[in-house]
Amino acid sequence: MKFVANIIPQLPYLRRFARSLTENQANADDLVQCTAEKALKMDKSFLGKGSYRAWLFTILYRTFLDQQMRFQRLNETSLEMVTDISAPETMVERAELRQVTILLQKLPEEQRATLTLVAVEGFSYEEVGKMMNVPIGTVMSRLYRARLKLKNLMGEKKLTRLEIVT
Amino acid sequence: MSHKDVSNDEILAYIDGALPADRCHVVEVYLTKNPDARDFVAAAERQNKMLRTALLPIMDAPVPAGLPDAAMIQRLPRWVELMKIAAVLLAGFVAGFYSDTLVQPKDRPSDLIAKVELAHQIYAQDNAYPVEYWADNQTVLQAWFSARMDAEIKVPSFAEIGFDLVGGRLMMGTKKPAALLVFEADDKRRIALYIRLDMPLTAEQKVNTQVNGKLRMTAWQEQQNGYAISGPLTAHEMLKAAALVKVHNS
């Protein structure tokens, strides 16, 4: 099926984006599931304007916003980090990587999504603007604020020796 | 970070590789003279690298099985799904009526026919003690089945065809316990639904049907799950009952 051929290669990317928006991988996979279902229902409405990948990310983001409106955010203490961070060599690097995933969750969701879509998924400002239905100026403003806030949070959360050891 | 020659937007575009080459040089000169902007760019580039690295394991992880498949099933409107199931079941009925080889080797859906027929006669028709857990303990029943069968067992509803749950009991599969659910209509007719989770994957996938007197039996397999229904049902009722089980499990 054409749909399956289109969506399957995007699943890892959708899962990664969903994971950056949600507190744990289970919630991220639920979000991807909802996205896939909506995409299936709306498949014929994709008119070929822009990339299919961007279209799927748009659906995922809007689904996320819908869910946010319906459900109260989980307590931050329930954050489950990406646990299998094995690539970095040092304990400090591993601890920092864990921390950046936690700090990412502290950004407002529109900033978090914008930063992930641009910095991790490599979408253009224009594509992100279309996904979020906002002008490019708003995308760049959110991106700037996201980076500034994350920089400040990371500055505040300079790893102490104790955090690294534990 | 403002400067008459370089805007914040240009600095962002520089970080993200979206700035035209001729402006990159202007921004780089600007950064050498503005430590705050330089710090911001360095921090952003570090963030980018860390985020990509931190989220990389998700890209390498296998996508959970069924993530797209489940979506495909749920895509279809309920009536389309029912029609598809009915078509498959109808083919099974036709094959069943004209086949002389309903008795198959062990562990095929056709073998479930004999199992459910026997279970129906022994348990479902027993008025005193047809089940181990009654319907008023459905939560316990489901939890018990799930624990014993090592998988989530959901009790389907046959309310659409006028049958309510009586209860359930454990049966024997080949390698694992199996479940038997009994349902009853207002006219006291009873349906038995037999569920097994240990079918061999190589088994036949077609729907099997057999009629013995007033009792009609239908069995089929989905992955390693085997399902068999028996009851004094019309062909139409059996189609609906099987479709309800299929939709319930999808």
pLDDT at position B125 is 83
User: CB distance A151–B43 less than 8 Å?
Assistant: yes
Mutate to test the interface with A, among B55, B56, B60 (most CBs of A within 10 A): B55
Which strand (E) or helix (H) includes residue B94?
helix B78-98
Integer Cα distance of A109 and A6 in angstroms:
27
Integer Cα distance of A112 and A105 in angstroms:
7
Chain B residues in contact with A147 by the CB 8 A cut-off are 12, 15, 40, 43-44, 47
Asked if A104 is an interface residue toward chain B (Cβ–Cβ < 8 A), one would say yes
pLDDT digits (tens, 9 = 90+) for B167-209: 999 888 777 889 999 999 999 999 999 999 888 776 556 677 7
The conformational region for residue A46 under phi > 0 = left, psi -120 to 50 = alpha, else beta, is beta
pLDDT at position A157 is 55
Asked if A125 is an interface residue toward chain B (Cβ–Cβ < 8 A), one would say yes
User: CB distance A82–B63 less than 8 Å?
Assistant: no
Residue B164 phi/psi, 5° resolution? -110, 155
Q: Which residues, in sequence order, are bridge partners of residue B167?
A: B134, B182
* Residue B53 or A139, more confident: A139
Weakest-pLDDT range from A89-98, B10-19, B193-202: A89-98
Nearest to B47 among A8, A41, A150 (CB): A150
* The pair of three-digit structure tokens given for residue B32, joined into one six-digit string: 């050498």
**CATH number where A110 lies:** 1.10.10.10
Nearest to B54 among A7, A82, A140 (CB): A82
User: CB distance A120–B52 less than 8 Å?
Assistant: yes
Chain length of chain B: 250
Residue with tokens 């409405």: A45
Integer Cα distance of A147 and B47 in angstroms:
8
pLDDT digits (tens, 9 = 90+) for B75-93: 444 444 455 555 555 555 4
| A96 and A151 fall within a common domain | yes
| A44 and A98 fall within a common domain | no
CB A50 within 8 A of CB A7: no
The Cα-based distances of B62 to A11, B28, B249 in angstroms read: 10, 41, 24
Integer Cα distance of A98 and A83 in angstroms:
8
ipTM (interface predicted TM): 0.74
Asked if A120 is an interface residue toward chain B (Cβ–Cβ < 8 A), one would say yes
| A71 and A114 fall within a common domain | no
The percentage of chain A sitting over the pLDDT mark of 70, rounded to a whole number, equals 70
Asked if A27 is an interface residue toward chain B (Cβ–Cβ < 8 A), one would say no
| A73 and A5 fall within a common domain | yes
List, as one string, the DSSP characters of B101-118.
----SSSSHHHHHHHHHH
Integer Cα distance of B156 and B154 in angstroms:
6
* The pair of three-digit structure tokens given for residue A91, joined into one six-digit string: 């304990």
pLDDT at position B145 is 87
| A17 and A65 fall within a common domain | yes
Chain A residues in contact with B43 by the CB 8 A cut-off are 147, 150-151, 154
The dihedral sign for the CA sequence B119, B121, B125, B128: negative
Last residue of a domain, one of A17, A48, A80: A80
Last residue of a domain, one of A56, A80, A104: A80
| A116 and A144 fall within a common domain | yes
The radius of gyration of chain B from alpha carbons, rounded to an integer in Å, stands at 30
The radius of gyration of chain A from alpha carbons, rounded to an integer in Å, stands at 17
**CATH number where A28 lies:** 1.10.1740
Mutate to test the interface with A, among B7, B67, B69, B74 (most CBs of A within 10 A): B67
Integer Cα distance of A112 and A132 in angstroms:
12
| A35 and A65 fall within a common domain | yes
| A69 and A135 fall within a common domain | no
Q: Which residues, in sequence order, are bridge partners of residue A24?
A: none
User: CB distance B58–A104 less than 8 Å?
Assistant: no
Last residue of a domain, one of A80, A111, A141: A80
What domain count does chain A have?
2
Chain B residues in contact with A97 by the CB 8 A cut-off are 50, 53-54
Chain B residues in contact with A1 by the CB 8 A cut-off are 72
Per-residue pLDDT averaged across B224-241, rounded?
A: 87
Asked if A154 is an interface residue toward chain B (Cβ–Cβ < 8 A), one would say yes
| A41 and A107 fall within a common domain | no
Q: Min CA distance, B172 vs chain A (Å)?
A: 34
pLDDT at position A48 is 61
Per DSSP, chain A holds a count of helices (H) and strands (E) of: 9, 0
| A91 and A76 fall within a common domain | no
User: CB distance B67–A11 less than 8 Å?
Assistant: yes
Chain A residues in contact with B80 by the CB 8 A cut-off are none
Expressed as residue numbers, the domain containing A42 is 1-80
| A66 and A90 fall within a common domain | no
pLDDT for residue A144 is more than 60? yes
pLDDT at position A112 is 93
Nearest to B53 among A12, A41, A88 (CB): A88
| A44 and A76 fall within a common domain | yes
Q: What residue of A is the nearest CA neighbor of B46?
A: A151
* Residue B152 or A145, more confident: A145
Integer Cα distance of A125 and A137 in angstroms:
9
pLDDT for residue A122 is more than 80? yes
